[in-house]
Amino acid sequence: MHTIKEANMVTAKMDLLMKRLDDYTKEKAAMPNTIQAMNSHMTCEVCGNTGHSGNNCPKTQVW
């Protein structure tokens, strides 16, 4: 009987870990949309245009 209780505890912990992993995966997938939304409101300090920062300004990119 003691082993059944332990097995149930392990199962509950695994379920919790799987839920946390699923939540993390969903959050990570949504991150590019969040960054894109933030960039759309950003004004570049180099060229003054919106949609990027000075670090990503096309005028400072070396090709």
Please count the residues of the chain: 63
Residue with tokens 């670090």: 55
**Cβ of 57: how many Cβ atoms within 10 Å?**
15
pLDDT at residue 63 is higher than 70: no
pLDDT value at position 37? 78
Which of left, alpha, beta for 44 (phi over 0: left; psi -120 to 50: alpha)? beta
User: pLDDT category, 22, cuts 50, 70, 90?
Assistant: very high
Token readout for 35 is 């960054």
Q: Where are the domains of the chain?
A: 2-60
For 26-61, how does the pLDDT look when each residue is reduced to its tens digit (9 = 90+)?
Answer: 988 888 887 777 777 888 999 999 888 888 888 888
